[in-house]
């Protein structure tokens, strides 16, 4: 049977990496629906699939889902700028649209994988475990928690599994556009630091670089999505490396790969809300999807810098 997988937000960082991987599978067609609000067509230059410019809750798209045109939906589309404060807009785009996708997919009985976020945990104590300390500190994190709650209401009546993936801090090829938009730069700290270093600028960290985050490499995120496509049941799973690492660690690893040692400028943190320590507990991810990460920060940064140094900027699988 030919799989026909719909990826919403497929012009974005994670969606384009997913598409680039899935088109290599035998008997698999990929259709991307993206409104191009934050994604980048350049991510798709070497990804041979059908592209539709559409809102993810576009009426015709929902009709196609309900009519059985697809065998699975992988929903990545969202407002991804976590500094957007418009509450109604965030919930409309992130949560309402997802609810409509679930309703449509229930009609055709197809599996739904969707992007949740570590933002659902806010600043609660690490390690972050699904079902514990879900106290988002901004409207973005709340909109994702609301998605998980909508999904849970469908678990019993949806004919196929619904798997939510709470991504932690994802880094890797395909995220350049996140540093090129007007205003807020949302690319990973690894790309931001790499670009400053290459421009000969002094690296800056918020005082004193000891903030801890769970940085997860894009290749692990894609592997988690593939595992979710096979998961036997519904649920929410963390997608992280399982290890918190400091911002100073990032600088050190980057220095190692670039053969440089950096004199960091430690500046005051202007944000009132800032996650100080995230770390994914992976017990649900193993239990539901049988997935575990395989890229350490050291290996991930090495692979990423190798691709960046070769001038590659698209999804990993197109290198
Ligand atoms: N990158 C991370 O570290 C991270 C962490 C946690 C969660 N996430 C989630 O993962 C998903 C993918 O994020 P990303 O990093 O690839 O971001 P991205 O901004 O690169 O990709 C999001 C894509 O969705 C599209 N989009 C936005 N609103 C849309 C709409 N209404 N209809 C159709 N398309 C729309 C954008 O144009 C973009 O191509 C998002 O749901 C995000 O919230 C990402």
3-state secondary structure string across the chain: CCEEEEEECCCCHHHHHHHHHHCCCCCEEEEEEECCCCCCHHHHCCCCCEEEECCCCCHHHHHHHHCCCCCEEEECCCCCCCCCCCHHHHHHHHHHHHHHHHHHHHHHCCEEEEEEEHHHHCCCCCCECCCCCCCCCCHHHHHHHHHHHHHHHHCCCCCCCEEEEEECEEECCCCHHHHCCCCCCCCCHHHHHHHHHHCCCCCEEECCCCCEECEEEHHHHHHHHHHHHHCCCCEEEEECCCCCEEHHHHHHHHHHHHCCCCCCEEECCCCCCCCCECCECCHHHHHHHCCCCCCCHHHHHHHHHHHHHCCCCCCHHHC
| CATH code at 3-173+216-242+276-294 | 3.40.50.720
The residue annotated as part of the active site, out of 178, 194, 217, 304, is 178
In this prediction, residue 291 carries a pLDDT of 98
Q: Which residues pair with 105 in a beta bridge?
A: none
In this prediction, residue 274 carries a pLDDT of 84
Best residue among 77, 136, 141 to mutate for probing ligand 1, ranked by most atoms within 8 Å of CB: 77
Instruction: Give the separation between CA 30 and CA 4, rounded to whole angstroms.
Output: 6
Instruction: Give the separation between CA 175 and CA 190, rounded to whole angstroms.
Output: 11
Q: What is the pLDDT along the chain (319 residues), one digit of tens a residue?
A: 899 999 999 999 999 999 999 999 999 999 999 999 999 999 999 999 999 999 999 999 999 999 999 999 999 999 999 989 999 999 999 999 999 999 999 999 999 999 999 999 999 999 999 999 999 999 999 999 999 999 999 999 999 999 999 999 999 999 999 998 776 789 999 999 999 999 999 999 999 999 999 999 999 999 999 999 999 999 999 999 999 999 999 999 999 999 999 999 999 999 888 888 999 999 999 999 999 999 999 999 999 999 999 999 999 999 9
Q: How far is the CA of 15 from the centre of ligand 1 (A)?
A: 8
Q: How far is the CA of 190 from the centre of ligand 1 (A)?
A: 18
Q: How far does CA 179 lie from the centroid of its chain?
A: 16
Q: How far is the CA of 130 from the centre of ligand 1 (A)?
A: 21
Active site residue 178: yes
Token pair of 200 as six digits: 């000969």
Instruction: Count Cα atoms within 13 angstroms, Cβ side, for 217.
Output: 19
CA distances from 163 to 57, 75, 99 (A): 19, 10, 14
In this prediction, residue 236 carries a pLDDT of 98
In this prediction, residue 1 carries a pLDDT of 81
Going from N- to C-terminal start, the domains of the chain cover 3-173+216-242+276-294
CA distances from 65 to 1, 106, 162, 258 (A): 18, 9, 15, 46
Q: Which residues have CB under 6 Å of ligand 1? A: 8-9, 11-15, 33-39, 55-56, 76-80, 93, 97, 115, 117, 167, 169-170, 178
Instruction: Give the separation between CA 136 and CA 122, rounded to whole angstroms.
Output: 4
């Amino acid at each position: 049977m030919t799989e026909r997988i719909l990826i919403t937000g497929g012009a974005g960082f994670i969606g384009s990496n997913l598409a680039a991987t899935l088109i290599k599978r035998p008997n698999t067609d990929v259709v991307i629906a993206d409104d191009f609000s934050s994604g980048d067509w350049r991510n798709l230059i070497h990804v041979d699939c059908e592209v539709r410019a559409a809102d993810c809750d576009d009426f015709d798209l929902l009709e196609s889902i309900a009519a059985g045109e697809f065998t699975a939906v992988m929903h990545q589309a969202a407002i991804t700028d976590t500094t957007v404060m418009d509450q109604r807009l965030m919930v409309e785009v992130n949560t309402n649209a997802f609810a409509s996708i679930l309703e449509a997919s229930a009609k055709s009985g197809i599996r739904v994988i969707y992007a949740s976020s570590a933002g659902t945990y806010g600043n609660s104590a690490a390690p972050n475990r699904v079902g514990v300390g879900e106290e988002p500190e901004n409207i973005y994190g709340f909109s994702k928690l609301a998605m998980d709650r909508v999904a849970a209401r469908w678990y019993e009546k949806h004919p196929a599994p619904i798997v939510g993936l709470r991504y932690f801090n994802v880094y890797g090829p395909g995220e350049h556009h996140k540093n090129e938009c007007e205003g807020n730069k949302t690319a990973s700290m690894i790309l931001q630091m790499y670009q400053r270093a290459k421009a000969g600028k002094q690296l800056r960290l918020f005082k004193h670089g000891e903030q801890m985050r769970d940085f997860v490499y894009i290749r692990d995120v894609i592997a988690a999505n593939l595992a979710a496509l096979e998961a036997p049941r519904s649920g929410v799973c963390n997608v992280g490396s399982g290890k918190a690492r400091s911002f100073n660690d990032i600088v050190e690893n980057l220095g190692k790969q670039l053969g440089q040692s950096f004199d960091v400028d430690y500046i005051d943190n202007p944000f009132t809300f800032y996650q100080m320590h995230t770390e994914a507990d992976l017990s649900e991810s193993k239990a539901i999807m049988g997935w575990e990460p395989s890229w350490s920060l050291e290996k991930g940064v090495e692979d990423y810098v190798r691709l960046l140094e070769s001038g590659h900027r698209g999804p990993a699988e197109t290198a």
